[in-house]
């Protein structure tokens, strides 16, 4: 095997975002090399639920990216063999409120979302059980979002990588990027790995939670922080939860800046049978220790929404780290500070859903086209940094990985 490779673009990180970026880049005719220190989907992608959501997003750039991504996901799922292999389900999301005040706030959000192009149907308390027969009684009402969908995230990343390879991309797993190579003038010229250099005029940082570390290798700061979440998985069941169902306070938790633990029940069935229960958020660094109290809160929230779940057994729980940015917007697009460096990370808990749109616009810029979306709000250099000057050794994120 040769020690040095040359291509048009190196995508660092074989998670969902890297997979989509490699796919769209390869389909745009670029030779793409996808590299990851671990396996495909070994980071946040393999630890999530696979949400493709518009319902939890307020009007603004993230919602626009979500709407674009949702269309691209539907297109991909319509390709022969793809939808089934990634367990794509356009099942819709149902957000429920337990109090009239909560419902009023939810309706307010839905009205704003509608004007931004989201389909959202109000559901009265007496109609909730037509949609979800096993839902708890006594809820004030809800909003149905037919555009919400789901994929199995690990399968989705692996299958998109497979499609990217079919389109000419190559995959190198178990290969850690130890440096971002730059020309004398500071432009990117590839990456260094222990197995040899990979030369390219463009490098895409799709390293997810570790995106800050990769940015530091290129000499720039990017404030990506891990936000831990647990997911509970039940025994397989016949389909009893039809939509993604969650309580209205989830939206507030997603948008919160607090480091403290927050849990809001999110319940959904899967194609394979088990019910997935989230969602907890806490900023505790890369602490992988199990927390019974957090899973206890998740179970309590889920059984409040769906009382029948009290009898259903939790088989396992897993945790992951969402790549969190201070303003909850991902970093997407070229980095003005380093020519040739692109970022596609920091999607927090929405990376699966936003991956297609992210990969698509990155590929458009790489191919010299005007992206379908204004990338200004996602500019990677939008964060003021505490220390001036680019110090490659100052990684902004905690450095201890799993």
Partner 1 sequence: MSERPRLAVIGAGPAGLVAALAAAARGVSVTLVDAAPEAGGQFYRQPAAGLGARRPSALHHQWRTWERLRDGLAAHVRAGRITHLTEHHVWCVEREAASFAVHALLGPEQEESVAVRADAVLLATGGYEKVLPFPGWTLPGVVTAGGAQAMLKSGLVLPGRTAVVAGTGPLLMPVAVGLAAAGAKVAALVESADPRAFARHARVLAAHPDKLAEGARYAAELARYGVRVHVRHTVVAAHGSDRLEAVTVAALDTDGRVREGSEWRVPCDSLAVGHGMLPHTDLAETLGCRLDGVNVAVDDEQRTDVPGVWAAGEATGIGGAALSLAEGRIAGLSIAARLDSRVPERSSYAVAAKARGGLREFFAVVDKVCTPPDRWVERVGDDTLVCRCEEVPAAAIREAVDELGAGDVRTVKLLTRAGMGWCQGRMCAPAVAGLAGCPPTASRRPFARPVPLGVLAREPDGPASRPDLL
Tell me: does residue 174 bind partner 1 (CB under 8 A): yes
Tell me: does residue 84 bind partner 1 (CB under 8 A): no
Beta carbon nearer to partner 1, 41 or 366: 41
Q: For residue 279, is the peptide bond before it cis, meaning its omega torsion is within 30 degrees of 0?
A: yes
Kindly identify the residues of this chain, within the stretch 379-398, that bind partner 1 according to CB under 8 A.
Answer: none
Binding mask 245-274 for partner 1 (x = CB under 8 A): ----------------x----------x-x
Report angle CA 66, 69, 75 to the nearest 5 degrees.
Answer: 145
Q: For 174, which DSSP code?
A: S
Rounded CA-CA distance 15/208 in Å is 8
Tell me: does residue 116 bind partner 1 (CB under 8 A): no
Q: Which of 73, 74, 38, 44 is nearest to 358 (CA)?
A: 73
Beta carbon nearer to partner 1, 55 or 98: 98
Tell me: does residue 327 bind partner 1 (CB under 8 A): no
If one counts every other C-beta atom within 10 angstroms of the C-beta of residue 331, the result is 28
Tell me: does residue 356 bind partner 1 (CB under 8 A): no
- With both helix axes pointing from N to C terminus, report the angle between 61-78 and 351-366 in degrees, rounded to the nearest 10: 90
Report the run of H or E that residue 12 belongs to, with start and end: strand 9-12
C-alpha distances in angstroms, 191 versus 267, 273, 305? 41, 42, 48
Rounded CA-CA distance 169/23 in Å is 7
Q: For 211, which DSSP code?
A: H
CB of 323 to partner 1, least distance (A): 19
Beta carbon nearer to partner 1, 31 or 173: 173
Contact residue for partner 1 among 115, 185, 289, 370 (CB under 8 A): 289
Which pair of tokens denotes residue 174?
Answer: 């178990």
Kindly identify the residues of this chain, within the stretch 152-171, that bind partner 1 according to CB under 8 A.
Answer: 154-155, 158-159, 161-162, 171
Number of residues that bind partner 1 (CB under 8 A): 47
CB of 86 to partner 1, least distance (A): 11
Residues that bind partner 1 (CB under 8 A): 14, 38-42, 46, 154-155, 158-159, 161-162, 171, 173-174, 232, 234-235, 261, 272, 274, 277, 282, 284, 289-296, 299-300, 302-303, 309-318
């Amino acid at each position: 095997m040769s020690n040095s490779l040359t291509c048009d673009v190196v995508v660092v990180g074989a998670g969902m975002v890297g997979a989509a970026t490699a796919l769209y880049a390869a389909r745009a005719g670029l030779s793409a090399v996808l590299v990851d220190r671990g396996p495909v989907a070994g980071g946040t992608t393999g630890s999530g639920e696979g949400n493709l959501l518009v319902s939890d997003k307020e009007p603004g750039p993230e919602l626009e990216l979500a709407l674009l991504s949702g269309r691209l996901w539907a297109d991909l799922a319509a390709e022969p063999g793809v939808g089934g292999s990634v367990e794509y389900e356009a099942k819709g999301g149902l957000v429920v409120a337990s109090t009239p005040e909560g419902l009023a706030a939810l309706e307010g959000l839905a009205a704003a979302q509608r004007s931004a192009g989201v389909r959202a149907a109000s559901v009265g308390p007496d109609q909730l059980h037509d949609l979800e027969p096993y839902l708890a009684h006594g809820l004030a009402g809800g909003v149905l979002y037919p555009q919400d969908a789901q994929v199995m995230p690990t399968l989705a990343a692996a299958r998109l990588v497979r499609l990217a390879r079919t389109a000419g991309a190559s995959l190198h797993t178990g290969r850690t990027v130890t440096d971002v190579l730059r020309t004398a003038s500071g432009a990117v010229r590839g990456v260094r790995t222990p197995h040899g250099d990979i030369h390219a005029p463009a490098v895409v940082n799709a390293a997810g939670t570790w995106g800050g570390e990769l940015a530091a290798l290129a000499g720039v700061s990017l404030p990506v922080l891990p936000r831990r979440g647990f997911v509970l998985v039940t025994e397989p069941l016949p389909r009893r939860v039809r939509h993604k169902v969650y309580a209205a306070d989830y939206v507030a938790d997603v948008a919160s800046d607090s480091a403290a633990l927050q849990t809001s029940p999110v319940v959904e069935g899967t194609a394979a049978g088990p019910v997935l229960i989230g969602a907890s958020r806490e900023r505790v660094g890369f602490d992988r220790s199990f927390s019974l109290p957090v899973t206890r809160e998740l179970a309590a929230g889920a059984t409040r929404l769906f009382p029948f779940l009290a009898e259903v057994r939790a088989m396992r729980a897993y945790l992951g780290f969402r790549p969190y940015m201070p303003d909850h917007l991902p970093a997407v697009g070229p980095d003005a500070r380093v020519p040739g460096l692109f970022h596609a990370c920091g999607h927090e808990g929405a990376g699966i859903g936003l991956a297609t749109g992210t990969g698509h616009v990155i590929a458009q810029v790489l191919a010299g086209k005007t992206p379908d979306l204004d990338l200004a709000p996602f500019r990677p250099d939008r964060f003021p940094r505490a220390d001036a000057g680019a110090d490659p050794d100052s990684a902004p994120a905690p450095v201890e990985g799993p």
